[in-house]
Amino acid sequence: MTTAFFSHDDCLKHTMGAEHPESPQRLAAIVSYLADTELEQTLDWIKPEEITRDQLLAVHPERYLHQLDLMQPTRGRVFTDPDTAMMPDTLRAARLAAGANVQAVDMVMSGQITNAFICARPPGHHAERTKSMGFCFYNNVALAAARALNFHHLERIAVIDFDVHQGNGTVDAFQGDDRVLMCSSFQHPFYPHSHVHRQAENIVNTPITAGTSAKDYRKIVEAQWLHKLQDFKPQLVLVSAGFDAHRLDPLAELNLEAEDYRWLTDMLTSVAHDSANDRLISTLEGGYHLKALAESVTAHLEGLSAIR
């Protein structure tokens, strides 16, 4: 069983300002926490390459990509929405984060690795086909799904999004596409306030009230997701892994802890084991309390590499 860990130093060069929660310190905190664990030796550390233009076009139209290219400044910052800023290193980092997702799909499909965690930024799940928002430019998990569908010709892919914010961008990309089953839990009512009431059969929205206990969260998610996932029999499991539903996260009001992320991971690896030959790719989305993030990612990685 090989778990790959994708990371690239250039993903730390994208910075949206000293006070911005989606900071390079997030990746640094994860890597430095891992350095003190046994996991560091067992993971297969991989430096990704940039996604190609053609691969981006599988989700985002050329006019949107061109618009981002034109907006990226040569110095300073420009805001694409009130929360989301571009600076000279932004699109390089975004191409690496997206590229890691595509590369991970190719590597699990060829059997080189069993599963993977992509420790990169900017995140992706709020990026719609033609709209950057919520710290996101390219939809990393959607690009992974597109690679698996279009290039590897898979017929059933599950996307699980346990970030505290709904993955509106991923819903935008795949609603009504019954090759994809998306299960998304999120605090509600809450940002991004869109795509929650859309009723596509392949989207399982699981709104969670602020203040819900971890125990109740587990019950709700298991009841709404597990049978659906088992019946769907995905050939690949993709995870939008945001860790901002953690009790300590400054941006939200749910109550998960590292052990709950381990529980979620075990549920998802069991689904991958049953129908996907263990193929699972998890990509970092949110998570803004640095220590909670590092502990939660480590618990997630322990689950992926089945080290107790």
User: What does residue 165 show for φ and ψ, rounded to 5 degrees?
Assistant: -105, 140
Q: Which is nearer to Zn ion, 103 or 296 (CB)?
A: 296
Round to whole Å and give the CA distance between 135 and 86: 9
Which of 8, 14, 125, 126 is labelled catalytic?
Answer: 126
Q: Which residues inside 247-276 make contact with Zn ion, applying CB under 5 A?
A: none
> Is-catalytic flag, 197?
no
| Residues that contact Zn ion, how many (by CB under 5 A) | 5
Neighbours of 252 (CB within 10 A): 23
CB of 192 to Zn ion, least distance (A): 9
As given in the structure block, the two tokens for residue 260 are 């709950």
The correct pick among 99, 167, 234, 242 for binding Zn ion (CB under 5 A) is: 242
Q: Which is nearer to Zn ion, 40 or 253 (CB)?
A: 253
CB neighbours of 108 closer than 8 A, spacing ≥ 6?
Answer: 114, 115, 116, 236, 279, 280, 281
Q: Is 286 in the site for Zn ion (CB under 5 A)?
A: yes
CB of 253 to Zn ion, least distance (A): 12
Q: Which is nearer to Zn ion, 124 or 234 (CB)?
A: 124
Which residue of this chain has its Cβ atom nearest to Zn ion in the complex?
Answer: 286
Q: Is 163 in the site for Zn ion (CB under 5 A)?
A: yes
CB neighbours of 199 closer than 8 A, spacing ≥ 6?
Answer: none
CB of 212 to Zn ion, least distance (A): 16
CB of 291 to Zn ion, least distance (A): 17
260 CB-contact burial (10 Å; exposed 0-12 / middle 13-18 / buried 19+): buried
Locate tokens 């590597």: which residue? 107
Round to whole Å and give the CA distance between 212 and 199: 24
Q: Is 122 in the site for Zn ion (CB under 5 A)?
A: no
Task: Look at the chain and count its residues.
Answer: 308
Q: Which is nearer to Zn ion, 99 or 286 (CB)?
A: 286
Neighbours of 189 (CB within 10 A): 10
Q: Is 165 in the site for Zn ion (CB under 5 A)?
A: yes
Q: Is 244 in the site for Zn ion (CB under 5 A)?
A: yes
Q: Which is nearer to Zn ion, 95 or 125 (CB)?
A: 125
Contact residues for Zn ion, defined by CB under 5 A: 163, 165, 242, 244, 286
Q: Which residues are catalytic?
A: 126
